[in-house]
Structure 1
Amino acid sequence: MAKNQEPKNQANTNNHVDSRIAAVRDLIFGENIQQYDSEFADVYDKIKALQEESKKSLSESVTHLENKLSDLESLMEHKIQDLSDDFEKKIADLDAEKADRRKLGKALEKIALMLQE
């Protein structure tokens, strides 16, 4: 039983010393610590507000980019369909006439120029 009381006595002694150190620390640095705590709290609040603002801004940017990509995809599909229709029309015109290599070459060049735009 004596062994069990020794750790309890040490713990009580350590707590007593710790409370004395804390009391001295508070006497010497009390106002400064409160000021630092207040400043740190303000900084943490500002950081949290900036994080939330950044998340919101990022979310808006992602939505904006997704919309732009969707518009671009739609525009490209429309352009490809127009080129395909034009190509089919030119092929039909060439089939109706005699298959002239010069006309076919010019049609393919025109299509290539349209694709480059």
Structure 2
Amino acid sequence: MKEQVQEENKEQLNGKPTDANSKIDAIKELIFGENIQAYNSEFEALKADILAKKEELQNLIGIVESELLQNIDTLSTDINIRITDLENSINDKLGDLDDRKADRKLLSQLFIKLGEKIRE
């Protein structure tokens, strides 16, 4: 036991970690150090790439959204113009129908007068 205490004291004096977790971390670093660093660098590169793609997608979404809003406005204007044209066309046709009805009345009166003249 004294030897363990002396070894721990030596380790503390040399600045080496003394708790079990630190020792395990040191062993992991020795065994897997290069792999972990490679994985970390790959993960950082992937994270940066994902963030760049996310920003690019957000920009594209903004562009598409503005184009859609512009197309909706254009379509709305076009529909309003067509509706106005249809209303005018319907009003014109209704006016023509009224004229035709008036012409029928006029024709019937003319036929009555013609019939009266024939009778005389």
TM-score (norm 1): 0.69
The one-letter code sitting in structure 2 at the alignment partner of 1:68 is N
Question: Deviation at 1:57?
Answer: 0.7
2:47 counterpart letter in structure 1: Y
The residue that corresponds to 1:91 in the other structure is 94
Q: Are 2:73 and 1:76 aligned?
A: no
Match of 2:42 among 39, 42, 51: 39
Instruction: For 1:92 and 1:60, locate their aligned partners in 2 and report how far apart those are by CA, in whole Å.
Output: 48
CA distance in 2 between partners of 1:23 and 1:94 (Å): 99
1:54 aligns with 2:57: yes
Would you say how many aligned residue pairs link Structure 1 and Structure 2?
A: 86
1:67 aligns with 2:70: yes
Shift of 1:83: 0.6
Change (3 A) 1:99 1:80: farther
| Bigger Rg over Cα | 2
Larger RCO: Structure 1 or Structure 2 (Cα < 8 Å, ≥ 6 residues apart)? 1
Q: Distance in 2 between matches of 1:34 and 1:99?
A: 96
Question: Structure 1 stretches of 5 or more lacking a match?
Answer: 1-14, 101-117
Aligned to 2:25: 22
Q: TM-score, normalised by structure 2?
A: 0.67
* RMSD between aligned residues: 1.6
Runs of 4+ in 1 over 4 A off after TM superposition: none
Superposed CA deviations along residues 84-107 of structure 1, whole A, max 9, x for unmatched, are 00111111122123269xxxxxxx
Distance across 2 between alignment mates of 1:99 and 1:25: 104
Q: Give the whole-Å Cα distance in 2 for the aligned partners of 1:87 and 1:99.
A: 18
Gaps of 5+ in 2: 1-17, 104-120
